[in-house]
Amino acid sequence: MPPAQRHQWLWRYELPENERCLAAVARGQPLGELRLRLAMVERLSGQLAGLCCTGIKTELPSPNREVVYAVADRFRGRGYATQAVTALVEYLLSQTDVPAVSGVAHDDNAASQRVLQKSGMRLVGTLDIHGAPHHHYQRSR
Distance of alpha carbon 108 from alpha carbon 63, whole angstroms = 25
Res. 6 pLDDT band, cuts 50 70 90: confident
- Say which DSSP state 12 is in: I
Q: What is the pTM of this model?
A: 0.92
- What one-letter code names the amino acid at 19? E
Q: What is the pLDDT of residues 47-104, one digit of tens each?
A: 999 999 999 999 999 999 999 999 999 999 999 999 999 999 999 999 999 999 999 9
CA 21 to chain centre: 14
Say whether pLDDT at 1 is over 80.
Answer: no
CA distance 118 to 115: 5
Q: Identify whether the C-beta of residue 56 lies closer than 8 Å to the C-beta of residue 34.
A: no
% of the chain exceeding 70 in pLDDT: 100
DSSP 132: E
Q: What is the pLDDT of residues 56-69, one digit of tens each?
A: 999 999 999 999 99
φ, ψ dihedrals at 104, nearest 5°: -125, 145
